[in-house]
Amino acid sequence: MQNIVEQFQERVRTTARDKRPLRIRGGGTKDWYGQRLEGDILDTRGYAGIIDYEPTELVITARCGTPLAAIEAALAERGQMLAFEPPHFGAHATLGGAIAAGLSGPRRASSGAVRDFVLGCTLLDGKGDVLRFGGQVMKNVAGYDVSRLLAGSLGTLGLLLDVSVKVLPRAPREATLVFDGVTEIDAIRRLNEWAGQPLPVSASCWHDGVLTVRLSGAHAAVDAAIRSLGGAVLPDCARFWASLREQRHAFFEGDLPLWRLSVPSTVGAIVLGSAQLIEWGGAQRWLRAPGDAATAQRIRATVSAAGGHATLLRGGDKSVGVFQPLAPAVARIHERLKAGFDPAGLFNPGRMYG
């Protein structure tokens, strides 16, 4: 595999001399995410494979082009999982793409986000140099923040060559409860009350008057929670949560632009006049609404007043900005980071911000 790294290095250095941008791409399942796509494709799929997996240490290290499905299959054989439940959005999703996108699934509120599980990484920067950060254990803090920084950076800081990720054991039992006739306000109230109790809630979803809650843990804990909470047990619960993670749930159908609202979980109903779906105990809310400039301004002003931010995830006019505009001080930090890792601006230019 070293020859592939050398090819990557030569490609980066040649591109820097020619002043031509590079578009880092794995399986391409998240090409729709972010701002514009620009540059010659740098395909990472040839640099694949699990480098090290130590189940007893709860850590796996793999190359960027490794299929996400292969990672999950290897973990499943040992009764383990990627606890942040990354969405695939297609059969060809890669580990590098999952880390670069920084998207977490239904379990995020109970287990943590992508960045919380990144222990270390190897990065190819804009000068063609190979840099290593972090390690394979949580207590190794050397460069740890840099490793986490790459989660959600959309490849704008460099090519993530390999990454070490903390994994967790699968719960002995899972069950899903369904509650009908629940209003949005009542759903948020219940979820926040349950969050303050010793209940094994690992995921939640409210949509169109139906509140769905997943329980994960020891058999006794899940059984006790079922008796305490009531509701109807959903038979095929794995399919439901997979549809939510991969955005195949009925809410996500149609052509109307999709907004992702991130707010404190305790915020009450956010009235924006369009259909919503609520996850993460109230902290993540999906909204179907137009993606024009006027609507974007109204949505972002409302969400900002609630202490959150809004992302235009799919569809709409991307000129309004896919991501919430940064405060000037934060924008300067972004600019300095970009200049430090990618001084020539080679990697995925404009994918996050102009």
Q: What are 333-349's pLDDT values in tens digits?
A: 999 999 999 999 999 99
110, 163: one domain: yes
Nearest Cα residue to 58 out of 77, 41, 75:
75
136, 185: one domain: no
Domain harbouring 138, CATH code: 3.30.465.10
Residue 80 domain-assigned (yes or no): yes
- Give the mean model confidence (pLDDT) for residues 312-334: 94
Indicate the residue among 169, 198, 219 that finishes a domain: 169
178, 284: one domain: yes
pLDDT of residue 140 exceeding 60, the answer is no
Q: Provide the pLDDT confidence category of residue 170 given band limits of 50, 70 and 90.
A: very high
82, 185: one domain: no
The tally of domains found in the chain comes to 2
13, 155: one domain: yes
Residue 290 domain-assigned (yes or no): yes
Q: Provide the pLDDT confidence category of residue 354 given band limits of 50, 70 and 90.
A: confident
41, 161: one domain: yes
pLDDT of residue 19 exceeding 50, the answer is yes
140, 202: one domain: no
Query: Tens digits of per-residue pLDDT, 147-161?
Result: 899 999 999 999 999
Indicate the residue among 129, 145, 169 that finishes a domain: 169
Q: Provide the pLDDT confidence category of residue 144 given band limits of 50, 70 and 90.
A: very low
Indicate the residue among 134, 169, 204 that finishes a domain: 169
42, 112: one domain: yes
Residue 333 domain-assigned (yes or no): no
Q: In this predicted structure, what is the pLDDT of residue 131? A: 94
Q: In this predicted structure, what is the pLDDT of residue 1? A: 83
133, 244: one domain: no
260, 227: one domain: yes
pLDDT of residue 34 exceeding 80, the answer is yes
Residue 332 domain-assigned (yes or no): no
Q: Above pLDDT 90, what percent of the chain? A: 93
Query: Tens digits of per-residue pLDDT, 64-92?
Result: 999 999 999 999 999 999 999 999 999 99
Residue 211 domain-assigned (yes or no): yes
Residue 329 domain-assigned (yes or no): no
- Give the mean model confidence (pLDDT) for residues 112-126: 95
Q: For the whole model, what pTM was predicted? A: 0.94
pLDDT of residue 141 exceeding 90, the answer is no
Q: Provide the pLDDT confidence category of residue 236 given band limits of 50, 70 and 90.
A: confident
Residue 349 domain-assigned (yes or no): no
pLDDT of residue 137 exceeding 80, the answer is no
What range does the domain containing 243 cover? Answer: 173-320
Per-residue CA distances from 219 to 106, 171, 200, 201 (Å) = 21, 9, 11, 13
The tokens 């999950």 sit on which residue? 72
25, 151: one domain: yes
Residue 74 domain-assigned (yes or no): yes
Q: In this predicted structure, what is the pLDDT of residue 147? A: 87
199, 236: one domain: yes
